Chain A
Amino acid sequence: MSVYHYLTVSAILFALGTYGVLTRRNAIVIFMCIELMLNSVNLTFIALSRHLNSLDGQIFVFFVMTVAAAEAAVGLALMIACFRNRETIDVDQINLLKW
């Protein structure tokens, strides 16, 4: 399998994630779509790292996973705090900063 096949799968996943982030209203589902986009980028990194016989891409994937874990912890804590105050995590209802 050439690297282009993997890159195409990754592109499809990234586009799906973009569509989900732009259409869904539930904050947790938006969060999951962001995780989907991060994972598609990880696939790109690993495919290119195999293609170029280098480990740098995989090290970068390692750090992307670290940041995704930190993001999950902080983002979900934010959602809990928001739900406690507003009783909803529907992004259409959270419009205090909207102009």
Chain B
Amino acid sequence: METIFFYLVALVTVVSGYLVVRCQNPVNSGLALVNTFFCLAIFYVMLYAPFMAAIQVIVYAGAIMVLILFVIMLLNLGTEERKRYTHGVVWAAIASLLVLLNVVFFIKRGRVTGAEGDVTDFLITTEGHTELIGKALYTDFLLPFEIASILLLVAIVGAVVLAKKDV
């Protein structure tokens, strides 16, 4: 059952990812990208990471996509010209196929190993994923957390300055 569901969601993910790349209208690309984000949220739920799924939906499918679609509307790119809208297709196809083959080669040949932690599925279901993430963020990763907040502040100021009328 889970296997069938996985393949179904994977198919939808890959098809909507393809639509992001191929759609002529940027708005359609954006909507396909929202679809991809939701499928990835489903994957996160299947991987016992419900907090990440919620963040994915709220931050990516909510905030970032609204920002992108808003800029598309603002710049009035709805009707892209009928002329050639891609370039260098052959070389790009070769490059991305090389990337894909490289990664698949490593996935097929290698074995995934590493330092095992102690956060099992049982712990996540009993204690709660959000609580575990919060504990990790505010103890082990406190400095990166603060740096991320400063980064967001700088990004806000930078966006306001860049988008002003007279730069």
Known A23-B21, A76-B71; contact A52-B114, beta-carbon cutoff 8 A: yes
Known: A66-B148, A76-B71, A78-B162. A22 touches B49 (CB 8 A): no
CA distance A58 to B47 in the complex (A): 11
- B interface SS class: helix
Mask for A37-59, Cβ within 8 A of B = 1, else 0?
Answer: 00100110011111111111011
As a 0/1 sequence over residues 54 to 95 of chain B, the CB contacts with chain A under 8 angstroms (1 = contact) are 011001100110011001101101001000011111011101
Please give the distance in Å from A37's CB to the nearest CB on chain B.
Answer: 10
Beta-carbon contacts under 8 Å, A1-58 to B: 1, 3-9, 11-20, 22-26, 28-29, 31-33, 35-36, 39, 42-43, 46-56, 58
A23-B89 CB under 8 A given contacts A9-B13, A58-B52? yes
Interface residue from B44, B71, B116 paired with A53 (Cβ < 8 Å): B116
Determine the interface band of chain A, counting residues with CB < 8 A from chain B: 35 or more
Contact, CB under 8 Å: A22 / B119:
no
A79 at the interface (CB under 8 A from B): yes
A15 touching B29 in the complex, CB below 8 Å, given contacts A46-B47, A55-B132? no
Instruction: Output the least CB separation between A21 and chain B (Å).
Output: 8
Q: Which residues of B contact A4 (CB under 8 A)?
A: 107, 112
Complex: how many Å from CA A11 to CA B158? 33
What's the nearest-Cβ distance from chain A to residue B74, in Å? Answer: 7
Is A97 at the interface (CB under 8 A from chain B)?
no
Interchain residue pairs with CB less than 8 A apart (8): A11-B99, A12-B17, A15-B99, A22-B92, A32-B30, A50-B47, A50-B49, A50-B121
